[in-house]
Chains A and B, each alone.
Chain A
Amino acid sequence: MNKDPGDEQAMSLEFSLESLNFIRAGEASSELKQRLNKLGFRPELVRRAAIAAYEAEMNVIIHAEKGTMKVEITPARLLVLVEDEGPGISNIEQAMQEGFSTASEAIRELGFGAGMGLPNIKRCADDLEIQSTPGRGTRLKITINNEQR
């Protein structure tokens, strides 16, 4: 039986993400999704959060050396913070354009790297902040509001 998310205290989760580990790829987002379902958030909100988190998780696994995903959960909103150490994004505006991708051929053969990840995160989120330092890494702050609670 679902519990009202309002019954829960604020909680936070943290996952470590490993470059090019396709065995574990997606596990953080999968676990996040299961936790949100258990907390009783609406399926539509859980789905948006899971897709945004999965896109961000895959970006780290595909492009970065390592990273973390931290999730702060309150009844009012979900905050997904994804930070990585990696090449960074030299032109964020360009990276936000659908179809722009720097993924390798091997990654494309897995069905990723179509240049849809960041635009899709933005579409699923209520707010997306991107900070990046080329040569150092990237930080995404994804906010999803629980408006109909």
Chain B
Amino acid sequence: MKLSEIQQILEAEVLVAAGNMDQEIEMAFSADLISDILVMCREHTLLLTGMAHMQVIKTAEICDLAAVVFVRGKRPGQEVIDLAEKKGIPVLLSRLTMYESSGLLFSAGLPGISKKNRTSQEGLE
């Protein structure tokens, strides 16, 4: 699913396009804990989160995440947007809740990380 389709489904505002709204997103993961992202996340994944601070962008870079959606209308500060621009990570803002955003994307066919990327998960362990 293209990131631009995800933006439409979530009725999201594009805060940082990073010239990369046409990329294919293979799977998604929702989390409100950095620790969980660092343990669970797979590369090229879309992250949905209610945390809107700089560590989210830094974690996205470390984990090779494809893009970040801030849910529940959590608008990040300018420093977060600047950092995402610098790192080239697209950032969207949706007014929907985490449950609603995740449910809409899942229903539209975007899988979660457990099914999509089992092989590379096993490779890590």
Contacts and interface: CB of A to CB of B under 8 A. Distances in A.
A111 B43 contact: no
B60 to A, nearest CB: 11
A54 B62 contact: yes
B25 to A, nearest CB: 17
Contacts of A123: 39, 124-125
B62 A51 contact: yes
B9 interface: no
B74 to A, nearest CB: 12
Contacts of A110: 34, 51, 53, 55
B47 to A, nearest CB: 12
Interface in A93-125: 110-117, 120, 123-124
A35 to B, nearest CB: 14
Contact of A120 (B33, B38, B58): B38
Interface in A125-139: none
Given A44-B123, A47-B63, A114 B36 contact: yes
Nearest to A23: B54
Given A30-B62, A33-B61, A110-B55, A48 B39 contact: no
Contacts of A117: 35, 38
B62 A33 contact: yes
B59 interface: yes
A29 interface: yes
Q: With a 10 A CB-CB cut-off, give which of B32, B56, B61 has the most chain A CB atoms.
A: B61
B85 interface: no
B62 A44 contact: no
A55 B36 CA distance: 12
A140 interface: no
Given A44-B120, A47-B62, A55-B38, 18 more contacts: A23-B54, A26-B55, A26-B58, A30-B58, A30-B62, A33-B61, A33-B62, A47-B63, A48-B124, A51-B62, A51-B63, A111-B32, A111-B33, A111-B34, A111-B51, A112-B55, A113-B35, A115-B35
19 contacts: A26-B59, A26-B62, A43-B43, A44-B124, A47-B63, A48-B124, A55-B38, A110-B34, A110-B55, A111-B32, A111-B37, A111-B51, A112-B34, A114-B33, A114-B35, A116-B35, A116-B38, A120-B39, A123-B39
A-B pairs with lowest CB-CB distance, top 10: A114-B35, A111-B34, A26-B58, A116-B35, A54-B62, A50-B62, A111-B33, A120-B39, A111-B51, A112-B34
